[in-house]
Amino acid sequence: MAEMGAQVVQAESPKFSCQTRGTYSWAQNHRNCYAITINTATKRGQEIFLKAVEWADVWIEAGRPGAYDKRGLTDEVCWGHNPKLAIVHVSGYGQFGPYRDKPSYDAIGQAMGGYMYMNGESPESPALKVNPYLSDYITAYNTCICALAGHLHVVKYGEGDSCDIAQYDTMYRMLDEYPAKWFSTGFPGPGEPVPDRAGNRGVACCMAFYTTKDGGSIYVTMTGVGPVQRGYPIIGMPREDYPEDCTGFPISTPMGQKAEALITKWCSEHTIDEVERIFTENAIPCQRAYGPADILADEQYAARENIVEWEDAVYGRMKGIGVTNRFKKNPSRIFASAPLVGEHNQEIFSAWGFTDEEIKEMYAKGEVSSWSAAETAKRKFLKEYGFFWDPDRQCKRLGIE
């Protein structure tokens, strides 16, 4: 949201920071954000919070379910201060239900949501977690969608709404057709093989990684009318074996097994460059699995500026992911480093009507706090834990040993 032009204020506790602060994740994911500190358990913190509510279009929170209600900061209280506020509550198991108080994390969401059940090397293998942080990121994207839906409701009808997002619920929704299949036709019992755990293979033939003549590995998806009609002749599938509107065969069928054997043999007789060129020329989806070196050297990544450099307050010059979502008239951009703890307390609290004396008093009482870049590095042990890739230069830059 911040890279797409929104003014995003990230609120942290004055006594401890977000657990990702000081990591590459914080540096990458919090660019362009503002940062304040606030303790909503205190009278002053609630005063700051309600000022934020009056200013904001959207409020997103990911605390323990019911924590704000216990402090008297209910949705209704917020709407009393700003009836046009769009609210999104994010938690592992939702704001209600018997599991609402259970803690969660990325892999927990994958496990509870059934996504982990789907993944494994084979039907007999254990369930498999998907990296990196799929559940966290998809839940965040879902949160963004719901926040914007809430804001659009305000634009159209002039009234705020509140949305309850559960991490496991988001992952469950990603299962697509499978719950309908399981609960309508049956599913494996405890300890039985799980057919959906097919590793790198799909349920259709010609939809997997294939080893090439030079030892390469490339993923091919030869499914759908077009790819099948163009691709089957290439791999040697007899024309009489499939109709003109054929979209492929399930891998479990005799024709699926035949097509699978043909594409496996064909790929083994060609180099990875040949496979990629021939299939691409025939509009058959294929792609070798990219690693860092591939990404860095690829012309597509370069053309879309997927890799950029920016100046981080703690690390200095960094290289990482560029902006996504290409707007024509108002392009996304990076204009600021991920913020330090409480970096914008003075600026934002002043804008919300607090005097300089009141802000000084907040600091004196420990109601708010700020960290410098050097303090961040020390508190997060960036040198000791190996986050600094050039410790001498980076420590010297921050004035620390």
With beta carbons less than 8 A apart as the criterion, state whether 22 and 376 touch. Answer: yes
Distance CA 382, CA 394 (A): 10
Q: Which bin fits 219, alpha (ψ -120 to 50), beta or left (φ > 0)?
A: beta
With beta carbons less than 8 A apart as the criterion, state whether 219 and 275 touch. Answer: no
Which of 136, 161, 164, 196 does the annotation list as catalytic?
A: 136
What is each CA distance from 57 to 79, 84, 154, in whole angstroms?
11, 7, 9
Residue 136 annotated as catalytic: yes
Identity at 3, one-letter amino acid code: E
Q: Which residue spans within 39-139 are E strands per DSSP? A: 58-61, 86-91
With beta carbons less than 8 A apart as the criterion, state whether 206 and 263 touch. Answer: yes
- Residue 220: what are its φ and ψ, rounded to 5°? -125, 140
With beta carbons less than 8 A apart as the criterion, state whether 288 and 279 touch. Answer: no
- Helix 225-235 vs helix 254-268: crossing angle, to nearest 10: 60
Range 296-300 contact pairs with CB under 8 angstroms and sequence separation of 24 or more:
none
With beta carbons less than 8 A apart as the criterion, state whether 14 and 37 touch. Answer: yes
Q: Which residue spans within 212-326 are E strands per DSSP? A: 217-221, 286-288, 307-312, 316-321
Residue with tokens 């989806």: 285
Active-site positions?
136
